[in-house]
Each structure stands twice: as C-alpha cells, then as structure tokens.
Structure 1
Amino acid sequence: MFGKKKKVVGLDIGSSQTKVVELLPGKTKRLINYGISKILPDAIVEGEIIDREAVLDSIRTLFESRNITTKDVVIGLAGRDVIIKRIVMDRLSEAETREQIKWEAEQYVPFDINEVSLDFDVVNPNYGENQQEVVLVAAKNELINNLTALLKELNLNPIIIDTAAFALQNAFEYNYQPGPDETIALVNIGAGMTIINVIKGGSSLLARDVYYGVNSYINKLQKEIGFNYEDAANTVKGTIPVGASQDSIQGVFESFVNDLSTQIERSLQFLTTVTGEEKVSKMFITGGGALIANMVDYLKRRLNVSVEVFNPFKNILYDPSIFAPEGVEMIGPVLTQAVGLALRGD
C-alpha cells in the first residue's frame, strides 16, 4: 500500500525464517533467485523484534549465501501494530479523500492518529447515496521506523512497505483467476502467526492476523507428549521420533487443527456479521503450516469448505532444478508472502 512500483526483491521477515524472492520484471514473471534463512527462536515474538542482531544476521546470511546484489526491497507488515479495515465514508475526489481519511481513521484506529502512517484504496466508489467504500490501512510509525532502520543497517533500501495480508492477495491474484462473485479465504499458517485475508472481486473484505501458528503445535507436542524442541519440530515436518506413540501425536495434531479452525471460524463469522457475506467459496492455505501432513483434509472436514494448498509459482516461470531436491510443492508455500511482495516491482 505504501510506495510506488519498481524492480524490487520481496523480503518476508517471519518469526522463524527470513525469505527472499527475486523475479525478472516484465509482463511474464520468471523466478531468478530465492532463499530461506532461519532466525533464532524468540528473536521475533508476536511481530516484535526482540533480538535485533539475530534478525540482522539472518537477513545478512540470506543475501550473502544467495549472492543477491539487489538493494531495493519490499517488506510486509503484520501484527497488532497494523490495522486493515473496510469503512464507508462520504464520496469525495481522491485528493479530498486523502485529506479526510485521517479524521475518518480516528474512529477505527486504536492508536494515536499522529503516531501512524495511513493509506487507503477506494474499492467501491458507488457504495450508496453519495458514499464510497474504502479499505483503510494504518501502521504504527514506530514499527515502520524500526524495520527501515534495521534494513538500512544492511545497506538495503525498503522502497515499498506493504502489508503481509495484501502480499498474499497479490500473489493469489497473479496466479489464480477467481470469478468476480467468488469469496476466497487466503490463510497463511506461519510459525507464530496465521494471516487471514478474505477477498472478493479483487478487494479485501476482511484481513486479520491471529497469534496462533505452527509454534503452537510444537508447544503442544512438548507439553502433552514430553518431546524436546527438536523432536517436536521434526514431528511437525513428518519425522517422528523412534518409539513415539502415533496415537498420541495424532491426538495433539487434531487438537491443534481444531484450535486453528476455531480461530479461522471466528474471522469468517465476523465477516458474515459485518459484511453480510455468506460462506466462502474456497480456502487456499499457505505458509509452513500448509505443508503439515493431513492439514488440508482436516481443515476441509472441520470447516466444511473446499481447501487447497496455494501454489505461488503457478503462473511464474522457473527452472524446476532451482527447487531441488525438495521440489516446488514443498518450498513454494513457504515463499508465498515473499512472492507477493516481489510482484510489487515492475
């Protein structure tokens, strides 16, 4: 939302990994390079950078190990310091809307309005009599300034600051062609956070960040079965420790998916209450959590909706060997947000 389009690298700073995607600009996009680098546990907690040096080291290692020389980057914001809300206001010109949006935002943004950066997108200019519908975005200046300073310390230039929810939407709309009347739920199941963006007709109906993700599954395995962190993390990836009870692990998994489904359900119920939209047509899941065995089937059964793993490279050209040996099916979902950010450059 914040900034103009140009050639960039998409940089997704997550709570457990840093991801980068570099695309060849042009009408038909081609993947040039990508990289994934781990971040020390608890270096980022609920979107807040706790261990600055650990995050710097992860990004530095990523760019150096992948020989990425491009300095212009796009980053995505998420968490409690970011608000995305659909609002109705008087129909005005774009210039007048920009002037008025600050006063409108005061009604919806739970922060000091002088301490946030605002942007907006008119999604329905003819909402009602002399009214328009606008997607309002607000982000705390402190969050933006901290990330900008961190990147500049690495000689990186954050030319566009987007939101993680809109990055998902950007990646989806480039790779898929939903019908104008389809209501689609995009769900990125990350390590510490799940990002939900429900879209219809090219605009966001609801965007929410939920502090529940793969780390919650790992914690459940540690607490309820007694695994150490390494065994729990490996179990999530499909490698079960010798002698572990399959039934116990299955029980923890079902408990995790049930809790995650409840979080998603609450968002969808809120959508129905606020917008009157009926049940979503389809759900696309992505992020590391989308790769957990049986996740699609359990979500489909629990939420009673069609669920598919989001392929962010569906319409992007790439050499299959770039994803060897794991393959694009295993790497792609982890890179979805970074792809959506990289697509901002053209």
Structure 2
Amino acid sequence: MKKILTIVSIALGLMSTPAMSERIKDLASIAGVRSNQLVGYGLVVGLDGSGDQTNQTPFTTQSFNSMMKQFGITIPEGARMQLKNVAAVSLHAELPPFAKPGQEIDVTISSIGNAKSLRGGSLLMAPLKGIDGNTYAIAQGNLIVGGFGAEGADGSKITVNVPSVGRIPNGAVVERSVPDNFSNGKPIVFNLHRSDFTTAKRVAQSINELLGPDVARPMDSTSIMVDAPVNPAHKVNFLSLLENIEVDPGEEAAKVIINSRTGTIVVGQNVRVKPVAVTHGSLTVTVDEAVQVSQPDALADGTTVVLPESNVGIDEEKNPMFKFSPGPTLDDIVRAVNLVGAAPGDLMAILEAMKQAGALQAELIVI
C-alpha cells in the first residue's frame, strides 16, 4: 500500500487565518543590552582515579606545581607526579547584561586532558576572563555530571552521556560589571531578530501611534531608533511600556525546507507555483529463482532431473499526469501532493525539478 506523505506547514497563519500579534520584546532586542562570554582554566580535584594521565598531559602537572607554590609548597625538580585524582579543565560562562558584583552565574566545566570522568570532582578557585583579559567572575564548587561510565577487567566498557563535562549551578560569583551605554542619554535602538522591512515599519508605526509622531524611526530592515528619556529611571519605565506594545510582524518569505535524512518537508504559507504538469509513476521488476525436480515414474526407465525455473514479474503503477493551476494556495499544494501519492524521496525530486523549471515560486532549502 502506497504511503501518503504528510507535509508540515509552518507559517504565522494560513491564508484563512489572521496574522498573530507579537510583543516588541519578542520581536526585537535593545542594542547594547547583551550578554558577554567568559572563559577560564582551572583544576578539578577529588576524582576517583579518573583524572588525567600526567605523563601524557604535562600541563596538568605544571598547573598543579604552580598552585602548590602559591601555598608555600615546593615540589622537587624532576619529581614525577601521578595525579590520578586531578584533571585540567576549561571553564566557560555567560555574563548576563547589567550583572552586578556579588551575583552568581552558572559555569560549565570541560576536560581538556585525557580524564575519563569528572564525576565527584570539585573545581578549585579559578578566574573567568572576558575578551579584554579582565577577570569578571571567580568560579569554585562541586561539579554535577550527567554522564557516567563503567569498565570491566577484560576491557569492556559502557558510557552514558558525556562524563567529561560537568556544570556548577551558581558556581561563579561576579566580581566586575561590564560597562554599558544604557545611561548615556542617547536614543534607544531596537534590533529585530528577523530582518524585515515590513516589520520594522510596523514597529515604528505602533510606537508613534502611542507616543506621537516621529518618536520612532526605522533605520533599515533590522533597526528602529526611538527617542528616549535621559534619566535612567525614566528610561526603564519607558522601555517597559514599549516592549509590551503588540505588532503584527511581516510574513515570512516563501520557503520549502527539505530534510533529506528524515524525508520531512516543510512548506511555508506563501509558497506558490506557476502552471506546471507533473507525472509520478513507478516500475517494479521482481525476479524469483527456483528449481523444479523432474522425477520418472517408479517403473519407468530414466533419471531424476533438476531444472531451474525463473519467474519474472513486472508491475507498473500508472499515475495520471497532474496539473497545477497558476498560483495555488498551500492547501491546494498539500491536496495535490496527496493525490499524486508521492513518497518522500520522490517528492523531493519533484520539488527540485519544479524549482529548476522555474515553476516553484519559493526558496528551496535542503538540509
């Protein structure tokens, strides 16, 4: 029985349904109000023999020796340390906008050596630095590791998830604030998450309808400049008002997205086709090899003969040519595809051929 392909339609709304309004805070972000990435290096201790093999990771030993010197302990030169319970790790975190000293942020820890697992380990105090080289947070604490592994004496082993990566919720304390231009008295700029001239125009219009003409001005398809109060307290109240204004965003460009691995096809709302005729059919050839035994009667003179027998069958499925009228809607396309009865792989070829022929008025994206 032929499978009928299900097409998933993604759009803000079908042609028969009105566009849904969205808040400005869901459509855009404020220029300059952003998070910052932090990175660091440190040591995880307390591992149950699953740390770095220091003969292969000399940086672990160097880091350990440097740490011990800070506590007044000198390691004899040339000493071979076997630090099976220590692992060198990299740290990374995201510093939220307006984060102040004393606040806590999450930290992710990843092994950079050959440690088998960070499970049960503790991170020693390590600085988190920004791109400018300044330290913005200090991390320390016990790791939470979602993965684990087990190994048998014969070398067999099993691993669940990734045991060489862990996380410390609220594991870093912010030590320095990132300078911002929020209080510089300049106009506010909203940057749309999806560049669209129609949406930029409608955002500016909605703000001007509430606050008066020329308060907001679209700069391009992404940015809208808005005159704002100079006083920071007034600016907060002003932004609280603006970000809750509802706007009808512009419709997405016509797209057809094909996932070649799973056979999933996503058709956008505004996809149209020019007049085109499509035919779909399949030819199945089956060959069965068998043997037939010819045996003489009991009283007859003769020998048993084995004869090969081949059965060849041809099954040609005939589907009529289907014609798309000019400019059908999404519903028409879905209905037509189901009538043709194309399998996922066949439909991909049909859509690609229609695009090459100039009949598909949409961007075709294969992932």
TM-score where L is the length of structure 1: 0.21
Q: Relative to total residues, which structure has the larger helix share, 1 or 2?
A: 1
- TM-score of the pair, normalised by structure 2: 0.20
